[in-house]
Amino acid sequence: MSWKHGHGAGRRGYHHGNLREALIKAALNLIAEKGPAGFTFAEAARAAGVSPAAPYRHFRDRDALLADVARRGFERFEAELAQAWNDGRPDSLGALHNVGRAYLAFARTEPAYYSAMFESGVAPDTDADLRQAGDRAFNVLRKASDALRAELPERSRPPALMMSLHIWALAHGIASLFGRGDAAQRKLPMPSEDLLEAGVLVYLQGLGLGGDPTG
């Protein structure tokens, strides 16, 4: 950041080199410290080292700032899930377990992003970019679910979207309860990855995975 002199004697105008990035960083730090609902727009400005009015150059309000943080989180999330899925290699089930581990790893290593994405109270439909980023991340789970669904006996295949939502709910529940990287993590007498893998296997076996493929 830098100070630039105005044309009048004694006048100074404040210029921040990258205000948007500074505000994003400040918001992430405040989320980590206080949670996504625990700070004001003015506090984010102060943490970024700018005046209370400065953030309005980029964000209409605090929710818009949180939406941008969440969008960036979903973009990172999608990239990590897609890398774990690896186009279903080495096989669909193994790749799905890799996606589950990546899901838990993100919740553990990026707790501020994770909170902004899922706990900020910002409705995805209020921001088109946020909604699209969230949809792209979910689509990785959808691809994985579709691949596993194709291996189930036809008579026991749930609707594709329903299966995706079941697996998402299982992964998200375990991540939120036992795989967090903040003080809200519950203790578990086993690695959270093992719990998720066992839960997915029980779910898939209940649908007939490993049974007679002809039904």
Cβ atoms of 55 and 43 closer than 8 Å: no
Reduce the secondary structure of 178-198 to three states and give it as a string.
HCCCCCCCCCCCCCHHHHHHH
Query: In whole angstroms, what is the distance from residue 96 CA to residue 112 CA?
Result: 25
Facing residues of 141 across strands? none
Provide the token pair at 168: 């998402």
DSSP of 91-114, one letter per residue? Answer: -HHHHHHHHHHHHHHHHHH-HHHH
Domain with CATH 1.10.10 in the chain: 12-59
Output the pLDDT for position 215.
Answer: 41
Output the pLDDT for position 164.
Answer: 95
> What is each CA distance from 64 to 10, 79, 127, 130, 202, in whole angstroms?
35, 23, 8, 10, 40
Output the pLDDT for position 46.
Answer: 95
Report pTM.
0.85
Output the pLDDT for position 126.
Answer: 86
* Torsion of the alpha carbons at 20, 21, 23 and 29, rounded to the nearest 10: 160
Query: In whole angstroms, what is the distance from residue 140 CA to residue 172 CA?
Result: 14
pLDDT values of the chain reduced to their tens digit, one per residue, 215 residues: 333 333 333 333 344 558 999 999 999 999 999 999 999 999 999 999 998 898 888 999 999 999 999 999 999 999 999 999 999 999 999 999 999 999 999 999 999 999 999 999 888 888 999 999 999 999 999 999 999 999 998 888 999 999 999 999 999 999 999 988 777 778 888 899 999 999 999 999 999 886 444 44
Domain with CATH 1.10.357.10 in the chain: 69-215
Residues with Cβ < 8 Å from 185, sequence gap 6 or more? 177, 178, 179
Query: In whole angstroms, what is the distance from residue 178 CA to residue 63 CA?
Result: 28
| Region 12-59: CATH code | 1.10.10
CATH top-level class of 69-215: mainly alpha
Provide the token pair at 10: 């004694």
Output the pLDDT for position 141.
Answer: 96
Number of H helices, E strands in the chain: 8, 2
